[in-house]
């Protein structure tokens, strides 16, 4: 790093505070807000500010060199305010993270310039997973960075949708970035790091404790230009993310579902409470967060791939998978359309280059490669990577 000595000192103090305190710790944030990170740390080391014995001891033992080389070994950058990669959205938080650990090829600040979080229940339904994948894909195709929490269910589906669109995606973790959590998502997290990044405010070695998920949710809300909840029960943590987003003045969308589905009940509730807009597809989400985005990044104005399609064509397209081809019989079953209607739609979609025959079945044709990053590189200043 080639920081000025002042930024270097500030960075060190921030890393120390990340070590010494849990996210959003009220007492420590008061010290830091009053004295600044550097001076507050100096005072605590002197045993001032009424800090507890343990904190004082740990503040004296804190080893910045060890932290920096731990990050280096992980291939993680430690990002602080003032760095090019620091995402400005975090400054809207009352208690922002002291610093971030970031792993992955993408530059966080540029990725966040056109970003949306897609969150939802771990215990998602097949319907919810389908919608989340489709939205992740649709928003990725439109040049949005999809941000989520890499959890089971909706989170993973949203990341996977974006990846299927060859768009970078960002996972914000409740544990530190050296942990693959959940373990079953080890390869998903590796794939996310390949084009996007994995982010945490927790220093290496931190476990995903329950209260850290709530703190993590505020980061997801603050990092992005808007938040969409795909499926959420009444007590889902993703409603907490949505509430954070709303308090930060970011638009919130919620996907409807059957009124008989418990995991759509939270979505319906936040629409009824009038703080979320009902959204049914990626285009509507883009419109929703685009309003705010106008002053953050000029609108890419590429026509939606599905512009001019009939609603039948859109529905059929939605049911054709990317990876394993699906038979016409199965599509008839899924769409509940008459076979002739279905075949006509497939024909139009094939002509439009949106689906193709594969053996005895049909599959989607992936859209053109990586519009998001080429867009970001064209419009935004180049970012240093730490």
Distance CA 6, CA 285 (A): 41
CB of 344 to a second copy, least distance (A): 15
Q: Tell whether residue 280 is a contact of a second copy (CB under 8 A).
A: yes
To which residue do tokens 């809300």 refer? Answer: 221
Region near a second copy per CB under 8 A, out of 61-69, 95-103, 258-266, 297-305? 258-266
Distance CA 7, CA 82 (A): 8
Residues contacting residue 360 through CB under 8 Å, at least 6 positions apart? 325, 327
CB nearer to a second copy: pick between 40 and 124: 124
With contact defined as beta carbons under 8 Å apart, do 275 and 252 qualify? Answer: yes
DSSP characters over 214-227: HHHHHHHHHHSS-E
The conformational region for residue 82 under phi > 0 = left, psi -120 to 50 = alpha, else beta, is left
Region near a second copy per CB under 8 A, out of 14-22, 52-60, 252-260, 348-356? 252-260
Map residues 25-44 to x or -, x wherever contact with a second copy holds by CB under 8 A: --------------------
* 9: its two tokens: 């000192």
CB of 338 to a second copy, least distance (A): 11
Sheet containing strand 326-327, edge to edge, reads 326-327, 361-364, 355-358
CB of 354 to a second copy, least distance (A): 17
User: For a second copy, which residue of 284, 304, 330, 350 counts as binding (CB under 8 A)?
Assistant: 284
Q: Tell whether residue 229 is a contact of a second copy (CB under 8 A).
A: no
CB of 239 to a second copy, least distance (A): 14
Count the site residues for a second copy by CB under 8 A: 29
Q: Tell whether residue 255 is a contact of a second copy (CB under 8 A).
A: yes
Q: Tell whether residue 272 is a contact of a second copy (CB under 8 A).
A: yes
User: For a second copy, which residue of 110, 115, 141, 264 counts as binding (CB under 8 A)?
Assistant: 264
To which residue do tokens 């004296």 refer? Answer: 60
Region near a second copy per CB under 8 A, out of 188-196, 203-211, 255-263, 297-305? 255-263
Task: Tell me if residue 281 falls in helix, strand or coil.
Answer: coil
User: For a second copy, which residue of 234, 341, 347, 377 counts as binding (CB under 8 A)?
Assistant: 234
Cα–Cα distance list, 222 to 202, 226, 269 (Å):
17, 9, 22
Q: Tell whether residue 105 is a contact of a second copy (CB under 8 A).
A: no
SS (H, E, C) 347-363: HHHHHCCCEEEECCEEE
Instruction: Point out which residues bind a second copy (CB under 8 A).
Output: 125, 127, 130-131, 234, 255-260, 262, 264-265, 268, 271-272, 277-281, 284, 311-312, 315, 318-319, 336
């Amino acid at each position: 790093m080639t920081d000025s000595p002042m930024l270097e000192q500030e960075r060190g103090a921030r890393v120390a505070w990340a070590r010494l305190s849990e996210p959003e710790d009220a007492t420590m944030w008061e010290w830091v807000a009053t004295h600044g990170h550097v001076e507050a740390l100096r005072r605590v080391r002197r045993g001032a500010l009424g800090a507890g014995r343990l904190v004082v001891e740990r503040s004296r033992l804190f080893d910045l060199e060890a932290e920096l080389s731990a990050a280096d070994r992980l291939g993680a950058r430690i990002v602080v305010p003032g760095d090019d990669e620091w995402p400005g959205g975090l400054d809207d938080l009352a208690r922002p993270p002291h610093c971030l650990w970031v792993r992955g090829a993408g530059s966080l600040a540029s990725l966040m310039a056109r970003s949306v979080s897609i969150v939802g229940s771990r215990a998602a339904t097949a319907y919810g997973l389908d919608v989340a994948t489709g939205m992740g894909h649709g928003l990725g195709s439109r040049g949005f960075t999809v941000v989520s929490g890499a959890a089971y269910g909706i989170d993973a589906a949203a990341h996977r949708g974006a990846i299927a669109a060859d768009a970078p995606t960002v996972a914000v973790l409740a544990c530190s970035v050296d942990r693959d959590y959940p373990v079953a998502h080890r390869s998903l997290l590796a794939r996310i790091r390949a084009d996007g990044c994995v982010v945490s405010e927790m220093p290496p070695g931190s476990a995903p404790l329950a209260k850290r998920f709530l703190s993590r949710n505020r980061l997801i809300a603050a990092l992005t230009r808007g938040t969409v909840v795909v499926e959420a029960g009444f007590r889902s943590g993703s409603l907490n993310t949505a509430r954070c987003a709303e308090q930060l003045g970011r638009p919130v969308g919620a996907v409807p579902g059957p009124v008989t589905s418990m995991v759509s009940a939270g979505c319906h509730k936040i629409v009824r409470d009038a703080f979320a807009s009902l959204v049914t597809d990626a285009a509507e989400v883009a419109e929703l967060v685009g309003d705010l985005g106008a002053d953050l990044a000029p609108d890419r104005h590429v026509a939606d791939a599905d512009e001019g399609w009939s609603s039948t064509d859109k529905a059929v397209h939605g049911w054709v998978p990317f990876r394993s081809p699906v038979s016409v019989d199965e599509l008839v079953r899924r769409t509940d359309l008459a076979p002739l209607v279905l075949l006509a739609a497939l024909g139009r979609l094939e002509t439009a280059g949106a689906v193709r025959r594969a053996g005895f079945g049909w599959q989607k044709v992936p859209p053109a490669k990586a519009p998001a990053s080429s867009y970001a590189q064209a419009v935004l200043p180049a970012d240093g990577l730490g």
